[in-house]
């Protein structure tokens, strides 16, 4: 999975009633876009590394 700045990330978890989170890539740890990237999650105002 390669990321670019501004990519949208959508995470759905059907096991708990379709919890859906989304974010936008704001930080790349590698210039070629390889993992991990850090999205800013829209609902929580937080960032954290996302593994592949």
The answer to whether residues 23 and 42 touch, using CB atoms and an 8 Å cutoff, is yes
| Nearest residue to 50 via CA among 13, 1, 6, 12 | 1
pLDDT in tens, 6-52: 998 888 877 767 677 888 888 888 889 888 888 888 776 666 666 65
Q: Given this model, what pLDDT does residue 14 score?
A: 77
Tell me the two tokens of residue 39: 């999205």
Q: Given this model, what pLDDT does residue 32 score?
A: 92
């Amino acid at each position: 999975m390669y990321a670019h700045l501004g990519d949208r990330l959508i995470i759905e978890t059907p096991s708990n009633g379709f919890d859906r989170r989304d974010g936008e890539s704001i930080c790349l740890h590698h210039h070629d876009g390889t993992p991990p990237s850090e999205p800013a999650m829209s609902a929580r105002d937080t960032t954290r590394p996302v593994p592949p």
